[in-house]
Structure formats: structure tokens, C-alpha cells
Amino acid sequence: MKARKLLMIPGPIEFEPEVIQAMAIPTTSHVAPDFVESFGHALDMMKEVWLSPSGQPFVVAGSGTLAMDMAAANLVEPGDRVLVISTGYFGERYANLLARYTDQVDVLRASRGEQVSPEQIEAYLKEKDYKLMTFTHVDTSTAVLMDPRPIGELGKKYGVLTVLDGVCSVAGEEMKQDEWGIDVAFTASQKAIGVPPGLALLMASPRAMDVWKNRIKPVANYYADWENWLPIMEAYANRKPAYFGTPAVNLILALETSLRIILEEGMDQRFNRHRKIGRAFRAAMKAAGLDMIPASEDSAANTLSAPFYPEGIAAGDFLAAASAEGVILAGGLLADIKPRYFRVGHMGATTRNDLLATVGAIESALQKNGYDLKPGACLQSAQQAYDAS
């Protein structure tokens, strides 16, 4: 009998056994030849996963919030005008973070569940001279997906740096950094990358690096300063040891393992698997009669879903019932509707069987809480949608 429950939250996620094994080996020195090779290999593979052969990877001990901070600290100076495209909690958080570096932060907010259209973005870019714009590829609070391609095109058209918050998307949602003209794309290790929490992962384009190199004032964040980290990344990429801050040795070994697994699957296949799982999960929720925060299929993420509870079902009772069925789900995050919805992460190593186990647990939890639902309806819809996509 399986002793542990299936973790289907937006992160940390379920990890591949090989990744967990890499975490468990005796910790080596950060200058040991084998570790230097592993770190360098991980940096090489990041370029393949981000689809950014020209990019400069950074791997730093910290959370996704550190990755957000690194992009802001290195690219924004006092007085720079910045545009934040917000589709939820993490867009608002980025606006608050950027305000530490400049007092010229504008926020273009989507209506809840909606995307911000390229036309809306372009209207802002025509009106003011922005240095940088940020957007959340998948906002973890709403499960709303933004298409990076037109935003990258607008960035090139207007000479604006584009920063993609990919914490809940990189290695799950389709993202071709170089081809689409994205200047910075970052994530955290515990999401679709498939490594336990503790690594901030960032890829910067040559244009972003040039802007950083030509900044007027020093970076006002010592730990995040690329001046400190770039020599370290370059040394390990060239298979030489270096030191600024001690790297998270076992996490980087796990990162190398997970990136290898990702590339063995293939990026196109991985993107397609996430699409299949996302569509199947949404089909199951539709069969249950549950509304979702994303207003349409086009705005719905494939790494994460955010369904509303049926009327009369309490969040705590539902989540406890799902847990009793062996599946851990996440509650809502947006303060004003927090008790009204839940979130399900289905990214990274998530399989068809994980999907069906989760759908089955949700179906059972709804029924145990008095919701009138035909047994097996959600599972059947999920199976049909998965097999058809």
C-alpha cells in the first residue's frame, strides 16, 4: 500500500525517483571535479530547455522570488519606466518588487480570468517610453495563461526589454525564448523543472546582458548582482571551479538529473503532454459542472487549474475529503475569493495515472460533501479528452 499521498499542488510537485536519489547522495565539495562537470552540464542543458542557445543561464540558491528580484535589480535603475502586465497575485507582487528600484511603475491589469490583449499592451507602449515590461506566463493564483509570442514581438518593435515570469510555466508551457524574443525568462526549481525547492533559475538574452553591462549606477542588491554571479556561471560552464556563495550542491545535482530527463522526453513532446493533461483536467471539471477562473480555453494554463467550488461546499471540508482519498490539493490564493476556489498543479512528472487519481479524488470529495454528481462522469470525460488530444 502506498504510504504517501499524491502531491497535486502548484509546487512543490511530484518528483522523478532519480531526482530524489540525486538529492540523497553524500554531499560533495562545490569545487570537486565531478560536481564542476555536473554544474556545467546543467548550465548547458538549461539553454536547451529554455530553447535559448544564445542565453546566459544563472543558477542561484534561492526561491522564485529571488529570480524575480535578480531580473529587476540588474535591469532597472532609478527613474526607468517599467510596465507590469498583471493577470493575478504575482503580477501585483512584481509591481511591488519593481517599486524598490524605480518610482516609474505602471500596471496594466486584466479582468479576473482574462488575458491582457496585445492591442492593450501596444497602446501603453505607444503612449510612454518604457525600458522594460514584465508579464506572468502562468499566474499561480489564477491559472491564467499569457501567450509570450506577441509580447516578445512588441518588445522588439518598441525596443523594450521583455521579462517572462515563468515560475509556473518553464518546462511545462511552450516557450521558445530566443525565437520569440524574450529577454529574461526565469523559474523556480520546484515547479515544472521538477527539482525540490531551493534554486532560482534565470536565462538572460544577449540584449539583456548588454543593458546590464551599460547601466549607469551599480546594482543596489548585493546577492542578486550579476557582477557577482556571472563569473561563477562562466567558470562552471567552462568546467572550472569558482566561488561567490556556496552553491546548493545536491540541488544542482538533482537539477542536472531532471534536465536530462526533460530533454530525453523532448521539449515538443513535453509541451504536448502538458496540453493533454490540462485539457483532460478541464474536461473533467466541466463534466462536474465546476466553473474555472480562466474565462476561456485560450486563457487556461496547462500546468495548473483553478476551479471554483460548487455553491454550499466549504473549502476545508472539500480539501480534507480529497486528502482522505490520497490526493493533496491547494486552496485559493486571491484574498477576495480565497474560500471560493481551489488549485490543482498538474505539471512536471505528472502522468495520465496521476491525472485520473486526482480527478477521482475530486469526484469523491464532491460527492462526500453532498454534491449531486453521477459517479464516474469526471473520470470518463478526463479519459476521453486525454485520449482524443
Element at 368 (helix H, strand E): helix 352-368
Type of residue found at 180? W
Nearest to 57 by CA among 195, 140, 180, 177: 177
pLDDT tens sequence across 355-375: 999 999 999 999 999 999 999
pLDDT averaged over the chain? 97
Percent of the chain with pLDDT over 90: 99
Q: Output the CA–CA distances (angstroms, integers) from residue 240 to 39, 100, 199, 383, in the order listed.
A: 10, 35, 21, 49
Please give the pLDDT value at position 389: 75
At residue 1, does pLDDT exceed 60? no
Select from 3.90.1150.10, 3.30.390.10, 1.10.260.40, 3.40.50.10470 the CATH code of 6-11+266-388.
3.90.1150.10
Query: How far is it, in rounded angstroms, from Cα 142 to Cα 113?
Result: 7
Query: How far is it, in rounded angstroms, from Cα 1 to Cα 52?
Result: 43
Query: How far is it, in rounded angstroms, from Cα 363 to Cα 343?
Result: 15
This prediction has a pTM of 0.97
Ordered by start, the domain boundaries in the chain are 6-11+266-388, 17-265
Query: How far is it, in rounded angstroms, from Cα 18 to Cα 261?
Result: 9
Do 6-11+266-388 and 17-265 show the same overall fold?
Answer: no
How many helices (H) and strands (E) in the chain? 14, 12
Fold (CATH) for 17-265: Aspartate Aminotransferase; domain 2 (3.40.640)
pLDDT tens sequence across 138-161: 999 999 999 999 999 999 999 999
